Copies of this chain bind each other. A is one copy, B any other.
């Protein structure tokens, strides 16, 4: 088993690759109006970081009660934050209207240029470990799973790509499995994979490329966080530990295979860790 450490990126998550690629491809006119997005944290940090690096304004809607580490990080990167609604989808609806009113670019979390950017980490996996047989990747909006599966399957169609989501927020998995867009209850602690409303464009790509899409319980994700911390001394957020939780669940099936776990991000709030360690 190998771990792809996206937790050591600037902003602490793979998403930074998407934001940088997105801004790099904007025209001067598009840059002027600034970027608008909604985020539970990592996508927003990516947009805030890319905006700061390139001198753009960034307006980010975050759900009330968002991970305070990620909120502080987005503010530290100079973004204008607006708290709106109880979850990602509510914040997104509000900021889309705001972007239209201000004639700015709304950057949805599944934009093609974001997927292309994050796909670069899959290229690094296949270049560094050409013999990889299975890659397990967590799904929030799906940009990571799409980037990984497009890149890996294009280079070597025999590479198996398995997506993972929390059983406490299965909208993307249920949609993938049924072939329809299915909303589902969202109660996971892992905000990076907490999707209530599925995304059509990433679903389309995932239906074409993914070999499997599994659900793991939040409890298993928390155990995986503690395993990664004690054995590798890396702090993973919930989404970042989901691939390890999936690998443990699929242990028999993966036996003997060369498996890469995508540790997508490390932005776990200390209070969450304190609670997990006390449980």
Contacts and interface: CB of A to CB of B under 8 A. Distances in A.
A67 to B, nearest CB: 12
A69 B229 CA distance: 11
Interface stretch (A79-87, A142-150, A267-275): A267-275
A101 interface: no
Contacts of A267: 233
A229 B277 CA distance: 14
Interface string A3-15: 0000110001000
Interface string A209-253: 000000000000000001001100111000000000000000000
A277 to B, nearest CB: 4
Interface in A1-56: 7-8, 12
Does more than half of chain A's interface fall in helix, strand or loop, or is it mixed? helix
A8 B69 CA distance: 22
B235 A69 contact: no
A233 B278 contact: no
A270 B235 contact: no
Number of copies: 2
A124 to B, nearest CB: 16
Contact of A235 (B8, B12, B234, B269): B234
Nearest to A267: B233
A133 to B, nearest CB: 24
Contact of A7 (B230, B233, B270, B274): B233
A109 interface: no
A38 to B, nearest CB: 23
A229 B7 CA distance: 13
Nearest to A68: B230
A170 interface: no
A51 to B, nearest CB: 21
Interface string A112-126: 000000000000000
A192 interface: no
Interface of A: 7-8, 12, 69, 226, 229-230, 233-235, 266-270, 273-274, 277-278
Given A7-B233, A233-B268, A277-B277, 15 more contacts: A8-B8, A226-B270, A229-B235, A230-B270, A233-B235, A233-B266, A233-B267, A234-B235, A235-B235, A270-B277, A273-B277, A274-B277, A274-B278, A277-B278, A278-B278
